[in-house]
Amino acid sequence: MAEYFHVNTPLLESMSMSKLVGTTVYLKMENSQPTGSFKIRGIGHLCQKLAKESTGVVCSSGGNAGMAAAYAARKMGIPATIIIPSSTPPLVVKRLKDQGATVKCIGKVWDDANAEALRLAETEGLTYVPPFDHPLLWQGHASLIAEVAASLGSGVKPGAVLVAVGGGGLLCGVIQGLKDVGWTDVPVVAMETVGADCFNAAVKAGKLVTLDDITSEAKCLGAKTVCKKAFEYSQCSEVTIISELVTDQQALSAIEAFLDEERVLVEMACGAALAAVYSGLIQRLQGEGRLPTLLGPLLVIVCGGSSIDMEQLSNLKHKLHN
């Protein structure tokens, strides 16, 4: 068995994005992971630690965590059951089945699917694979910052990191990675869409908040409550997290611009992060003094995602661009 399930992804310089922001923009291309997103880093690590002796794994997911769990389970020779909510597009069901997983669609949003995954873990004795709330996931995701540090070489460090937030697992992993390489003074811009904004709501309220519903099309950002660790990071002085929102329309426009300019198709969850560049949010933060005017290189985590193809893109355009 391979030591890791994830691959070392390319770190690319984007000329067009650099021009927009006025500083070098580096793209960490997590879309090129075997399952199309960063999730395999943490989930691969967790499965190797917790599921070696397992009779099977069960994972609740908006899609990408499930893809990673199905992939890891297949490589480990154990069955995977993936519980998704009805908001997950059919193309993801097909991709999960292609990975050999059993797929069950339960409830409207991820939180509903998760309740069923926890129940199955209990009643069937399966190993529960959480999509974002576990220290082993954060440890696995942290490897992406270690790779960036190695790619940039000594003496170069990002001026800021741009990241999408769903349940907060990627954010926790990125912060852990920044701590590991001694970059705790690098601010993190944490992006969500309006309607999938549980982290922003918690930051504003000063406590964990459970959203009534997920109304954004960025379903993979659609956890109703952010994980406690992400909230704690937002409250501590050790790291700087700037929580910002974009609209679904801005996230979709970002996906389209990224496809045109970088020739890569990513899903809405990732579009939320890219929109910070394309919508001018980074410059706005500089104007407000929340990011330095002379900003060092901007590191964009291109988290990727499988919930997108040409048909889904055209569905989203139809829904959002009218």
Applying CB under 6 A, which residues contact ligand PLV? Answer: 37, 39, 61-65, 110, 131-132, 164-171, 220-223, 267, 269-270, 303-305
Looking at the Cβ atoms of 220 and 246, the one nearer to ligand PLV is 220
Buried b (16+ CB within 10 A) or exposed e, 12-30: bebeebbebbebbbbbbbb
Q: How far apart are CA 102 and CA 69, in angstroms?
A: 11
CB closer to ligand PLV out of 140 and 167: 167
Four-CA torsion 142, 269, 264, 285, nearest 10 degrees: -80
Q: Which is nearer to ligand PLV, 39 or 95 (CB)?
A: 39
Q: Please name which of 40, 4, 28, 80 lies closest in space to residue 266, comparing C-alpha atoms.
A: 28
Closest to ligand PLV by CB, 160 or 274: 274
160-164: strand order across its sheet? 11-14, 25-29, 298-302, 160-164, 188-193, 241-246
CA proximity to 152, closest of 297, 294, 301, 302: 297
CB of 167 to ligand PLV, least distance (A): 4
Specify the residue, 96 or 257, whose C-beta has the smaller distance to ligand PLV.
Answer: 96
Residue 163, classed as helix, strand or coil, is: strand
Least gap, CB of 275 to ligand PLV (angstroms): 13
Q: Nearer Cβ to ligand PLV, position 110 or 233?
A: 110
CB of 247 to ligand PLV, least distance (A): 17
- Torsion on CA atoms 221, 204, 163, 33, rounded to nearest 10: -30
User: For residue 23, which of 283, 289, 290 has the smallest C-alpha distance?
Assistant: 283
Measured from the CB atom, the residue of 24 and 37 that comes closer to ligand PLV is: 37
Question: How far from 299 is each of 61, 220, 221, 251, 291, CA to CA, in Å?
Answer: 26, 21, 20, 18, 14
Nearer to ligand PLV, 191 or 295 (CB): 191
The residue assigned the tokens 């700087």 is 240
In Å, what is the CA distance from 214 to each residue of 6, 36, 217, 255? 30, 23, 8, 20
Supply the minimum distance, in Å, between the C-beta of residue 40 and ligand PLV: 11
Cβ contact 168:229 at 8 Å: yes
Half-sphere exposure of 6 (CA within 13 A, CB side): 29
The residue among 112 and 261 lying less far from ligand PLV, judged by its C-beta, is 112
Minimum CB separation from ligand PLV for residue 122, in Å?
20
Least Å distance, CB 98 to ligand PLV, is 16
Q: How far is CA 83 from the centre of its chain?
A: 18
Enumerate residues 6+ apart whose C-beta is below 8 A from 183.
145, 149, 157, 158
